Amino acid sequence: MTDLKSLPLTSFHWGTYRVETEADDVVALHPFEEDPDPSRIGEGYVGVLKDSNRITAPHVRKSWLENGPTGTGATRGHDPFVEVSWDKAEELVAAELTRVREAHGNESIFGGSYGWASAGRFHHAQGQLKRFLNLNGGFTRSVNSYSLAAGEVILPHVLGAGSFLTGANTWQSVIDHCDLMVAFGGLPIKNAQIGQGGVGAHRAGPALRAAKAAGVEFVSISPLKSDAIDVLEAQWLAPRPSTDAALMIALAHTLLDEGLTDSDFIASHTTGFDSFASYLRGDADGTPKTADWAAAICDLPADDIRTLARRMAKGRTMISVSWSLTRQDHGEQPFWLGTVLAAMLGQIGLPGGGIGFGYCAVNTVGLERERPDFPSVPQGRNPVETFIPVARITEMLENPGGAFEYNGKTRHYPDTRLIWWAGGNPFHHHQDLNRLRQAWTRPDTVIVNEWCWNALARHADIVLPCTTPLERRDVTMTPRDPYMISMEPAVPPAGQARNDYDIFRGIARHLGLEEAFSEGRTEDDWLRWLYDGARTETAQTNHPLPAYDTFRAQGWHKLPVTDTHRVMLEGFRKDPVANPLTTPSGRIEIYSETIAGFGYADCPGHPTWMEPVEWLGAAEEGQLHLVSNQPKNKLHSQLDHGPYAQSERVNGLEPAHMNAQDAAARGISDGDPVRLHNARGACLCAAVVSDGVRPGVIQVSTGAWYRPDDDAGHCSNGNPNVLTLDKGTSSLAQGPIAHTCLVEVERALNTDILDE
């Protein structure tokens, strides 16, 4: 028997593992001994470090190499690749960067490079790319996230800037003080496997079980029963997708109508309630926003809505609003409305009560937070001011110079000539991938750092092969997790793969920027520099970090957990004058003059129900609402080709979960191949028929690698982003709306499958 604790440690966004190797290959990843609820996602690495999908040398697309950078974009994604030496690749990249910079300016370089890359403080691909591009005169960046852009933009206006997005009351506060947890978007434990920057111990599952044991009751509002684990015995309410705003408005109406609001809290801690109350009563539009009104929109019994409102007012209630609710049309509204509901209940700032954004969206929400201020590799300054909201990438490529609205200002898209992506996969994360693929033909050059031949690498001109965390030394230290992990290389890099740091350093040499980029430091020097910076932060505390070499020898270090009962907005609750919010009024803005002043019809001055662009309430006969949520067996597109994700496919196809009644109406049986389609695209999946999905809804996880089959006209691998709609949440945030999408579904013909 191997002594597991003697094996090298490594950490990913989904957990920490002990790595077992044989003959320079990884054969097993064993859960970290400190983790009470380990994730299986790590198993996906076994066998993929050296398989045929591994990129082992720099490659250049043939037409680009032969004809130069301009005019060959149309064949991007179709052309073969030619292997080149690192020297050649570095020269080509350096020359092309210089050409674009001189001919078109730095604004024409898009380095937004959104994505999750890998955990590890030093080998953070985007950080390295941005540092490099800044030294080269800057680039067009992107702002906000795919995760919850609408929430990131609305909250500073209505609740204030701060750590609200992940700073919810701790789990212990919920366990000890909460009576009822009402979760809009559920409490999907599959998502809590993830913590950005590395996870030592998974806490959400054990915390939920402890809360249940302590008597907390749960209501899960979601199209999927599986969004609450069975042991919670949650009440399951399944409104039509993308109608939560109407449900929340009706809950607010019931509270107001039945005198269940905390008018003292509203008077002392909020502003603008009157205009919202007037909207609830229907003073201007003649439509009171009653439970009956919402029942027709949400397709829920009106009594269930009224009963829920009364239950919420009865005891200590924690409202959780899932991040997924921001990834839908008008996705600003649910976070705003959740805040308003918690304010009407007067429970903001109380132990176990108020609002939390996205319990279980990641392991981080509900964790204790007191951590030293960890340093990261400095990014320098970007002299280019141009940016895009992250999910407006296709529009940027389609419409150089075009105007767009964002958070109160009109801005313009740059003329993008060069795209560089390192550590993200737009052919995973973006909506309407067939449209992206068209727009992607426009720039002169696409450079990609990747380790595997996924759709992004296949749609590049220059592919620079990078290492994985299993092949390099790093340290996990993130303010989001108490564990610091000494990540050790388990196997040598495959082929000629290099660390992103060395890739940029090599190119910097050709541009005369090597010294500026590296500051003369090796990988080990940087690691010590980062760690020692963190150590200095803790030197004066009761819990100083061990010396670097001691830490390396120990393998891991756990930071003390102190704020076990932290309550979000406690200070503001106690004294809103002494501890005002950072909103214009210092209070919770139920009506926002700032937002009203922007004059956006799609995001007015108080929370409002607006019909989504696609939804079951306006569906054509036969259409279903597609929920393309996060995959349980991987992180986004990472390791889709690995053994764990592949083992959960059905007859080799990506599962599409649907209700028995919808399946029967289409002559579909469990396990059948199905074709999902709409005007934007089509993909092949396998039907999984169950009662755990609301009628009218079909669920396909995101993450299957985009594999367009142009003859068949579909993605043969089941990537749902060929179906989703590429539109902003509103003029305010311009966030993505993946969860607002209608599709048609039918049994696939044999010819569909044979084309694979």
Please list the active-site residues: 114, 116
- From residue 101 to residue 140, what is the string marking binding to Mo ion with x (rule CB under 5 A)? ----------------------------------------
Stretch of 167-175, 417-425, 550-558, 743-751 lying at the interface with ligand MGD (CB under 6 A):
417-425
Backbone φ, ψ for residue 663 (5° rounding): -65, -50
Count of beta carbons in the 10 Å neighbourhood of residue 108: 22
- Is residue 324 a contact residue for ligand MGD (CB under 6 A)? yes
244-257 vs 291-298: helix crossing angle, rounded to 10: 170
Q: Which of residues 491-530 bind ligand MGD (CB under 6 A)?
A: 500
d(CA 199, CA 193): 8
Question: Could you identify the residue written with the tokens 């913590």?
Answer: 195
Residues in CB range of 549: below 8 A, 6 or more apart: none
Q: CB-wise, 110 or 591, nearer to ligand MGD?
A: 110
CA end-to-end distance (rounded Å), the chain? 43
Count of beta carbons in the 10 Å neighbourhood of residue 156: 16
| Nearest distance, CB of residue 672 and ligand MGD, angstroms | 22
Stretch of 80-88, 254-262, 340-348, 624-632 lying at the interface with ligand MGD (CB under 6 A):
624-632
Q: CB-wise, 452 or 624, nearer to ligand MGD?
A: 452
Of ligand MGD, Mo ion, none, which one sits near residue 337, judging by CB under 5 to 8 A according to partner kind?
Answer: none
Of 598, 111, 739, the closest CA to residue 388 belongs to 111
| Nearest distance, CB of residue 560 and ligand MGD, angstroms | 26
- From residue 682 to residue 711, what is the string marking binding to ligand MGD with x (rule CB under 6 A)? --------------------x---------
Helix, strand or coil, per DSSP, at residue 245: helix
- Is residue 63 a contact residue for ligand MGD (CB under 6 A)? no
Of 568, 597, 480, the closest CA to residue 159 belongs to 568
Strand partners, 17: 10, 31
| Nearest distance, CB of residue 630 and ligand MGD, angstroms | 4
- Is residue 347 a contact residue for Mo ion (CB under 5 A)? no
Q: Which of residues 357-396 bind ligand MGD (CB under 6 A)?
A: 358, 361-362
- Is residue 193 a contact residue for Mo ion (CB under 5 A)? no
d(CA 154, CA 334): 10
- Is residue 112 a contact residue for ligand MGD (CB under 6 A)? no
- From residue 229 to residue 268, what is the string marking binding to ligand MGD with x (rule CB under 6 A)? ------------xx-x------------------------
Q: Which of residues 139-168 bind ligand MGD (CB under 6 A)?
A: 146-147
The DSSP element (H or E) to which 403 belongs, if any, is strand 403-406
**Cα 419 to Cα 84, 90, 541, distances in angstroms:** 20, 16, 45
| Nearest distance, CB of residue 223 and ligand MGD, angstroms | 5
* Residue of 147, 261, 382, 699 that binds Mo ion (CB under 5 A): 147
Q: CB-wise, 147 or 416, nearer to Mo ion?
A: 147
- Is residue 11 a contact residue for ligand MGD (CB under 6 A)? no
- Is residue 645 a contact residue for ligand MGD (CB under 6 A)? no
Instruction: Classify the C-alpha dihedral 187-188-193-195 as positive or negative.
Output: negative
* Residue of 188, 389, 465, 642 that binds ligand MGD (CB under 6 A): 188
d(CA 257, CA 253): 6
Helix, strand or coil, per DSSP, at residue 445: strand
| Nearest distance, CB of residue 753 and ligand MGD, angstroms | 23
Q: Cβ(44)–Cβ(33) under 8 Å?
A: no
Q: Tell me 635's DSSP state.
A: B
DSSP class per residue in 174-237: HHHH-SEEEEET---TTGGG--TT--SS--HHHHHHHHHHTT-EEEEESSBGGGS-GGG--EEE
Site residues, ligand MGD (CB under 6 A): 115-118, 123, 125, 146-147, 184-186, 188, 190-191, 193-194, 221-224, 227, 241-242, 244, 322-325, 327-328, 358, 361-362, 422-425, 428-429, 449-452, 454, 456, 466, 500, 627-632, 635-638, 702, 720-721, 724, 738-739
Binding site for Mo ion (CB under 5 A): 147
